[in-house]
Amino acid sequence: MTSRIAFQGEPGAYSHQACHDARPMMEALPCPSFEDAITAVVEGRADQAMLPVENTTYGRVADIHRLLPGSGLHIVDEAFVRVHINLLAVPGAALEDVTEAHSHLVLLPQCASFLRQHGIRGWVSPDNARAARDVAEWGDRSKAALASELAGEIYGLDVLARHIEDHDRNTTRFLIMAPDADTTRRADHMMTSFVFRVRNIPAALYKAMGGFATNGVNMTKLESYMVGGSFTATQFYADIEGHPDDAAVKLAMEELAYFTSELRILGTYPADPARD
């Protein structure tokens, strides 16, 4: 039986590209939303889910950190995917024919310089792959899509211009989620992700973080977000380098637990080589 990996978006989306690159032996399953991708795994229709968490240009992907703790899934891998944005049009179209570029709201500003240089107006589409599908269906040489080359292959579009993003290091980090945790040490460079809430005492966050500094554990990410519709209910998401069995990590986590009212490890997984 073929294993499946779920992603949010239509065929040809960048999340599809991430599945293609990181899990080439798995069948990619498109889903309308992040919640649907998670549900596909929970219900057994997919074995894993590919979820974007942050982009070097756009920043944090909305909703993901809120969804992870309650998903019932575990982080088993991370994948850094270089986001190359291309101008796709129907066969026979030339760059000078294009007056409109359709894509997701997030992608349009990332190609602002190119669009301005060529007098192309950006139009918002629900998804970059959807934009590619629409352009193929319209058959209009004046309309193009900003999307991946994979989307161009799927919908039969020509690449009029490659890698037109303003920033040459535009990268999205994805987390690969599965029903069962894999806590084995699969690489020398391991990462651990967790969420926590601090106790209601003065300087609780400062004290909770102290254990990582004194034990020499590198924290690569710390973000806060509201939960439960309250300004006073704050949850923190963190990534650290190391494995929970490492002596330094174990000491730091013990100190963190003392100052928290809730602490949950979301996953321990190998660091993507792009981190180094």
Question: Do the strands 100-103 and 143-147 form a parallel or antiparallel pair, or are they unpaired?
Answer: parallel
**Per the residue annotation, which of 34, 114, 174, 196 is the catalytic one?**
174
Which of the following is catalytic: 34, 172, 212, 260?
Answer: 172
The residue type at 114: F
Identify whether 172 is a catalytic site residue.
yes
- Indicate if 234 belongs to the active site: no
Question: Is 5 within 8 Å of 48 (Cβ atoms)?
Answer: yes
Catalytic residues: 172, 174
